[in-house]
Structure 1
Amino acid sequence: MATITFPVPSTTTSRFAVAATNIPEGPAALLRTVDGPYLAHIAGRLGTRQLQVAREDLTCLRWDPGQITAARPEDRQLARAFNEAEQFAVVTAFAPITDQPRAVQVARAAAYALAEATGGIAADLVTGHVLTPSTRERTRFVLADRWLGDVLPPFRANGRCTAADPGVDPEGVNGCACLRLRTRGLRRFGLPELQITEVACPHDLTALNVLRTTARRLLTDHWSWLATGPAVSDRAIPDALDLTQNDFNDFWGTTRRVPLTPPSPFQVHLSPLTARLIAVGPPAHFEGTINHWLWGDTLPLGLHDAQDAPASHPLPTAA
């Protein structure tokens, strides 16, 4: 089995921004009265490189608020308001890679607290998305909590794609190659981003779930590797990755079983595009296109239809 090698940085940087009508000078002071499970973490890091807060306005920005978008349709109004804002509180976490994911969780918790204190809108400058308002950072890390920048593109290229539905016409399996999906967020954990390309529009959700599952497994293995205290700055991993139901469930942070057909693991093939980008595709032994693979029965059933976290069935109640 071949391997691919990529550099692992000793530190990574994450940035969040809060847009509000009035950001006070010295916005860090607003965090000194924050409550919740991250109170001690914020207090202990505030003012260090691991948690810096600064006020910025349009005269000094080195990033473009107009590039921040909505990950969900219901967030579009928030994104427009963020795009038009003139004052911001920017939270920066420059932390050792071994301090992840706690470092980014503390930084985002601080951004949420600033948004609550100022009545503002928080955004993740790594994923480029606004964050859900009135949210608090949960203590358990879940990759599905908006860390990956994983969103579906506009349906059928905003209506321009007329490829047939493969459920009606078999030719539709390879009816187009419109889609390129890429993660935005793995780099803050010291991993390359993932990309899948030449995907036909009908397979968009399946392709996205393949990326999600692959990302979760790579991250799990990466943290296990970091826990060994490696003395090298490069890491080699197999170019064939076996995935299971647990990896898909772990992405969502759920223990609920998602039915698999077939029950055996499925495999993806990894190809380095650059030092910071890895392509994901079908295993080397697969005969057919990437769309045949995404449409076929070699992938878990849940990857074809799970867009959100699988809901837990409620427990029965007494009569």
Structure 2
Amino acid sequence: MLITDDFLPVPVPESLSATYLVPMTGLPRMSPRTAVQALAGRLAEPVFGLAKQMLDSPLMTVDTRPIAEFPALPPDLLTAFGATEEQLTRLAEATHLVVVQAEYRPGWPPAHEWAARAVAAAVAETVDGDVVDVFALQFLDPATALRSLPDAEGRIRLVDWVLVPYSSDAEGLWFTTKGLRRFGLLELQAQGVPDHLTRAWGAVMTGAARRLLRTWTDGLAGEEVPAFVQLPVLATVTGHDIAVAYGNPEQHGATAPVLLALELDPATDPEADSFLSLRPPPGHPGPAGRYFATACATLFTGIQPDVRYARTGDAMSEAITTARAGLGDVRARFLAGALPAESQLVVKYGLPGDEGPEYVWAAVTSWEAPERISGASASDANTDPTVRIGSPVVVEATDVVDWAVLDGTGVIEGGWTQAVLDAGERPNPSH
């Protein structure tokens, strides 16, 4: 294998395994084979056939055991990863566990994960029960588990298989992925992420996971499993990567790619996990958090600064009027937590300049008083050196000319002035 400064050799495990549990009261009502056969016509053929083949091979085992034989699953971690009270109650009342385990070589498709999840979902469906994904310590209802499996063209949403948890440390937020080891790849991490980028950076991490997983599985495409796969030390992430990871490839914008340096952080504790760390590229000045904020501003449409010296033209005036008319409603939804899950509210406002206002975007962090918005700048301003990416700002509601709700794929609501600009109706500046 050729090792150069441009690539990072990442070791490949000899085999991969998946484990799913189905808690139930009493014994199963039907055999796993009968349960899987009931999915005929509902499960795409790549997985339907795979599940049946692995059930009949030594690569998969399905056992039913008394739940007392197993260590108790930690309810606090299950709750942290989305378990409901009803699911935890059913787990507490269960007398048996159906244990589905599968093993396969690294590469694509990840037959061990697809087949084991399909079989566990089929069994859970027969008893109106739940599936527990042991790797992620996550409950899945059977319908959700089946929806996460590949469609007829073999496509999946990576967000159904890779989680992005985060926690706070002294330098900001620490993000990791949880799910790439299903495919044999080390998990990703990023440290020093600004607090206001919680949702946006989670989407960037998911997009980076998608890009690196594709490179990883391409390196495993041969007949023999290699000892190492070379990953680029400088990886690119695009809006397309994020959109595909979220299952919305048609929604990606023509964003510029973002460059991220990839470093191997081996664990010093033999019981701990090693990580692939995402960092700013070499030579980037300033803290990592500033680069991460710049990356988010690049990848998500509608949060770029817009210098506008005069807003002539009906289209722009109508856009601003429409945005301002909806401020009260979007504030109420923001305060009530009624905006879409995993979304972020941003507002566009004017900064005074010698030649006219410069319009910049800010992520809303609080909006207690109707007339005043607290936020974090989503870009560096040209006219005001104190307004930098991530810096706290206070915006007067009367200065707001637009607002938008963003998710991992871009603007999902609002952004009327941006739509005018994207349509090419840019008014001429007046001097």
Shared topology, TM-score over 0.5?
Answer: yes
Query: Shorter-chain TM-score: what band?
Result: 0.7 to 0.9
Aligned pairs (5 A) from 1:228-247? 228-229=222-223, 232-247=226-241
Deviations 1:218-261 (A, max 9, x none): 1111121111345631122221112222211221232223335x
Q: Which amino acid aligns with 1:19?
A: P
CA gap of 1:144–1:79, structure 2 versus 1, over 3 A, is farther
Give the structure 2 partner of residue 185 of structure 1: 179
Contact 2:219–2:230 (8 Å) recurs in 1: no
Q: Which amino acid aligns with 1:300?
A: L
Give the structure 2 partner of residue 296 of structure 1: 294
Residue of structure 2 aligned with 1:17, choices 15, 21, 25: 21
Tell which deviates more after alignment, 49-58 or 123-132.
49-58
Q: Which amino acid aligns with 2:105?
A: P
Q: CA deviation at 1:144?
A: 3.0
Q: CA deviation at 1:213?
A: 1.0
Give the structure 1 partner of residue 277 of structure 2: 279
Which ranges of structure 1 fall in alignment gaps of 5 or more residues? 162-175, 314-319
CA gap of 1:193–1:138, structure 2 versus 1, over 3 A, is same
Relative to the length of structure 1, the TM-score reads 0.78
Contact 2:23–2:98 (8 Å) recurs in 1: yes
CA gap of 1:255–1:231, structure 2 versus 1, over 3 A, is closer
Give the structure 2 partner of residue 35 of structure 1: 39
Q: Which amino acid aligns with 1:77?
A: E
Aligned-partner SS, 1:226: coil
Relative to the length of structure 2, the TM-score reads 0.59
Contact 1:16–1:122 (8 Å) recurs in 2: yes
Contact 2:265–2:277 (8 Å) recurs in 1: yes
Aligned-partner SS, 1:81: helix
Q: Does 1:93 align with 2:80?
A: no
Give the structure 2 partner of residue 169 of structure 1: none
Q: Which has the higher contact order (CA 8 A, sep 6+)?
A: 1
Aligned-partner SS, 2:192: strand
Give the structure 1 partner of residue 160 of structure 2: 146
Which ranges of structure 2 fall in alignment gaps of 5 or more residues? 268-273, 304-342, 345-405, 414-431
RMSD (Å) for aligned C-alpha atoms = 3.2
Contact 2:261–2:282 (8 Å) recurs in 1: yes
Deviations 1:105-126 (A, max 9, x none): 1211111111111111112111
Q: Distance in 1 between matches of 2:223 and 2:76?
A: 38
Tell which deviates more after alignment, 106-115 or 125-134.
125-134
Q: Distance in 1 between matches of 2:142 and 2:36?
A: 21
Q: Distance in 1 between matches of 2:11 and 2:91?
A: 34
Q: Distance in 2 between matches of 1:34 and 1:301?
A: 43
Q: Which amino acid aligns with 1:142?
A: I
Q: Distance in 2 between matches of 1:21 and 1:68?
A: 23
Percent of aligned positions that are identical? 20
Q: CA deviation at 1:27?
A: 5.2
Q: Distance in 1 between matches of 2:206 and 2:141?
A: 20
Q: Distance in 2 between matches of 1:25 and 1:99?
A: 33
Runs of 4 or more above 6 Å deviation: 309-313
Give the structure 2 partner of residue 173 of structure 1: none
Give the structure 1 partner of residue 200 of structure 2: 206
Residue of structure 2 aligned with 1:7, choices 8, 11, 34: 11
Q: CA deviation at 1:195?
A: 1.1
Contact 1:54–1:89 (8 Å) recurs in 2: yes
Q: CA deviation at 1:308?
A: 5.8
Q: CA deviation at 1:34?
A: 2.6
Aligned-partner SS, 1:271: strand
Q: Distance in 2 between matches of 1:68 and 1:86?
A: 21
Q: Distance in 2 between matches of 1:48 and 1:70?
A: 35
Q: Distance in 2 between matches of 1:17 and 1:49?
A: 19
CA gap of 1:272–1:47, structure 2 versus 1, over 3 A, is same
Higher-Rg member (1/2): 2
Tell which deviates more after alignment, 301-310 or 7-16.
301-310
Q: Distance in 2 between matches of 1:121 and 1:218?
A: 31
Give the number of equivalent residue pairs.
Answer: 290
CA gap of 1:290–1:230, structure 2 versus 1, over 3 A, is farther
